[in-house]
Amino acid sequence: MRAFWAIVALLVVGAGWLVFAKPSSGDGAPRPSSKGSPSAATVQTPAVLPGAASDADTKKAAEREATPPVTARVDPEPPQPQPEPQPQPAPTPAPTAASETAAATPTAPVPETPAPTETAAASEAATTEAAVTETAAKDAEAKVEEAKAAEVKTAEAPAPEAKPAAEAKATETKTTEVAAVPEVATPAAAPGPTGGAPAPASTTEGAVPAVETGPIPAKFETLENGDTKVDGRFTVKGEGTLEKPYEVSWEHLISASELYNPRNGKKRLPERVMMLDGKYVRMTGYVAFPMYVDKPKELLSMLNQWDGCCIGVPPTPYDAIEVRLKDFVQGGDRYATQGAVTGKFSVKPYLAGDWLVGLYVMDDAVFTTKSTAGATKN
């Protein structure tokens, strides 16, 4: 900026010099200088005294008067942009004794204030835990009081009187018999709305029906000749003893498949076959001995003929009996295909999962040959 103003000043001085340094007029009189504004210089013509000037001077004076004064024009300076003021940094106050003491003193950490939600959740959890603890303590106290009351009651109760051995045995026998035959509770019929026929008992919603256990009951009828009619279908001879064993048919044993099939959810055995369990039974049918055994002590009694491999009809759990003999089978009886077995009969289901593999078993049996390799022995 200073250089700019210096240049302007030089220009002004040069212009003034050009104006005022022109040669003087013809009469040798110096041109007076103007004392006006520095930016404009006016050329003035000196006054001529009357009577002293010549015609030439008069003419020049007239020309000078006719000529307007010359004014030097100076262009105004263009506005210069002002620099923007820079923000001054705030003065740093001089440290005082109080500020130095505060800086030297350690500041205690300010604990973080938990969020309102976390505080509420924590307080609620603490309240719940306190309530649970109080409830558990009350329950424990109640149990302790109940145990003390039971001990006091037991101590105050009189000792039971001793009963005779015979009476105790009779009571035990009676209890066993009652437990063996479960009682079926029959709900009492409520009177009808008009006081006439009883209304049917309503079933409580959501009640779980009782699961029936034990064998499915059968109907037994004694005939005139001493035989037993079972369910009006099967005739059973004998008394089930070693001297008079039961004689039953294969149809009687096979009828168990009608009511007992674990794979289909039928898991209760019928009483008409359970009546044979633990009794002596005599059965006649086809037999098959174990292969490659010279003196077998086991055999399979079946309804249909089967050689144990490829010939005949393989048995099912309902039409076959696993027989364990008292003695070994020797001689020609080893090749028998038919015969009668008499022994202690058992109903023992053998399951693989829910699949029935075996059902009937006979122990301590005696085998009597009926035929050997096509020949018939009477």
Residue 373 per-residue DSSP state? T
Q: How many CB atoms lie within 10 A of CB 322?
A: 18
Strand 355-372 and strand 336-352: pairing? antiparallel
Whether 283 contacts 341, CB under 8 Å: yes
Domains belonging to the chain, first-starting first, are: 2-66 (no CATH), 220-376 (2.40.50)
Residue 245 per-residue DSSP state? -
What pLDDT sits at residue 311? 87
Mean pLDDT per 10-residue interval, the chain, length 378 residues: 86 85 51 46 46 60 62 58 62 54 52 53 68 76 79 58 49 46 45 47 54 90 95 96 96 96 95 97 95 92 91 94 95 91 97 95 94 51
DSSP, collapsed to helix, strand or coil, labels residue 102 as helix
Instruction: Give the integer Cα–Cα distance in Å for 76 and 262.
Output: 125
Global pTM exceeds 0.85:
no
CA angle 371/322/335 to nearest 5° reads 25
Q: How many CB atoms lie within 10 A of CB 330?
A: 10
